[in-house]
Amino acid sequence: MPVYPPFTPVIAALPSTVPFVGPEAQQRDSGRKFRARIGANESSFGPSPRVIERMIEAAPDMWMYCDPDNHDLKVAAAAHHGVRPQNIVVGEGIDGLLGLLTRMYASPGEPVVTSLGAYPTFNFHVASVGGRLVSVPYENDRENLDGLLEAVRREKARLVYLSNPDNPMGSWWEAHDVNRLIETLPETTMFILDEAYCELGPASALPAIDVERPNVVRMRTFSKAYGLAGIRCGYAIGEETVIAAFEKIRNHYGVSRMAQIAGEAALEDQDYLAEVVRKVEAGRHRIAAIAAENGLQALPSATNFVAVDCGSDGAFALKLMQGLLARGVFIRKPMAAGLDRCIQRLTAMRKAQRRPSLVRRVRLSGSTSTRQKALV
């Protein structure tokens, strides 16, 4: 038997799991391509034509390393938000930045507060540093702000996470509610405000950016409304001393030259962003109407996807999802108890894609429910 060098105790204790099973893996397993890829929360509208043009122009220069300082993109993001470049750190999407922030504030055995069923990649990073997750159940399909605050105080947690608008339910809190949470959190607790979907929600849900507050980090991405999920680029906004600490541990060559150029170009084309936001809003209304026609209920959403209440339990919703996957339609669903009665569906697809029928009968063997139609 070979003798292997031992893993660290934290890594050795982790289960062999990943936060998501991607559509590519499911296609490899089934040997078939999906006809509709509407479960990854990508923007099927893609990036601005001006962004694509800039990327094409930049392609011959990809033999060079990127700027490790991400200078031009930092300056552009800072100007966009009315802050200084020292208040911005660029990373490999919000996922990469979450990994850095958990390393900065979570230690083995220390409590970290989040919502039960919220974005699982954050939990993945907390587990990787040995942090102890403290999960607060959703209330009325929204993350429970009072519950998060109570858990922070009870556990004396140094780190708490909230996505607003929320993934997986698409719900949101207004800015004054988020501000109330910020103002009542202990000064020793770092608040991660994940705003991946913020461009798609109401402006009233966006608190004013205050870079003087040292225990709040705001996170933004180019993966959603800007249509650049594949380039893995996002940024965090915060107080200068906190942002400077990212430099101690970040991968300085982790954001490619192409990603930096595309992100800067995306910020420049706010007219295209506004067009996408209008189309997404129309798509949410269309999905809600289709759901209602089939005896299902679309939950209010401030994102580019809609959570559809299937009107039964998690087992029923799982069968709906499996039925759609078997018919070549990639969707996802929440798995936490109480949220698992829903399935998730993207609000729009490119016209160039082959469109399956919007409603198709799905047989649910063993189900006692009378609902046998599902969104496609």
The better pLDDT of the pair 118, 352 is held by 118
Query: Average pLDDT over the chain, rounded to whole?
Result: 90
Question: pLDDT by residue (tens digit) across 204-220?
Answer: 999 999 999 999 999 99
Per-residue model confidence (pLDDT) at position 114: 98
Q: What beta strand segments (E) does the chain contain?
A: 36-37, 88-91, 111-115, 132-136, 159-163, 190-194, 216-221, 234-237, 297-298, 305-309, 329-330, 342-346, 359-361, 373-375
- Residue 133 · residue 114 · CB < 8 Å: yes
As a whole number of angstroms, the distance between CA 212 and CA 77 comes to 17
Angle at 164 (CA atoms; ends 122, 148), nearest 5 degrees: 65
Q: Taking Cα atoms as reference points, which of 270, 267, 260 lies closest to residue 90?
A: 260
Per-residue model confidence (pLDDT) at position 253: 96
Residue 169 clears pLDDT 60, i.e. is over it? yes
Question: pLDDT by residue (tens digit) across 302-317?
Answer: 999 999 999 999 999 9
Tokens for 187? 């000064």
Q: How far apart are the first and last CA of the chain?
A: 51
* Share of residues in the chain with pLDDT > 90 (%): 77
- Residue 232 · residue 97 · CB < 8 Å: no
Per-residue model confidence (pLDDT) at position 350: 52
Instruction: Using CB atoms within 10 Å of the CB of residue 300, give its burial: 0 to 12 exposed, 13 to 18 middle, 19+ buried.
Output: middle
Average pLDDT (331-358) is 72
Is residue 90 classed as helix, strand or coil in its secondary structure? strand
Q: Which residues neighbour 155 within 8 Å (Cβ) at sequence distance 6 or greater?
A: 111, 113, 134
Q: Taking Cα atoms as reference points, which of 44, 47, 40, 46 lies closest to residue 25?
A: 40
8-state DSSP, 2? P
Q: Which domains does the chain possess?
A: 20-46+271-375 (3.90.1150.10), 49-268 (3.40.640.10)
- Residue 32 · residue 328 · CB < 8 Å: yes
Using a cut of 0.75, tell me whether the model's pTM lies above it: yes
Per-residue model confidence (pLDDT) at position 238: 98
Average pLDDT (16-26) is 82
Per-residue model confidence (pLDDT) at position 349: 54
Question: pLDDT by residue (tens digit) across 64-112?
Answer: 999 999 999 999 999 999 999 999 999 999 999 999 999 999 999 999 9
Per-residue model confidence (pLDDT) at position 76: 98
8-state DSSP, 119? -
Strands 216-221 and 234-237: antiparallel
Per-residue model confidence (pLDDT) at position 357: 38
Strands 190-194 and 159-163: parallel
Identify the weakest region by mean pLDDT among 1-10, 86-95, 158-167, 292-301: 1-10
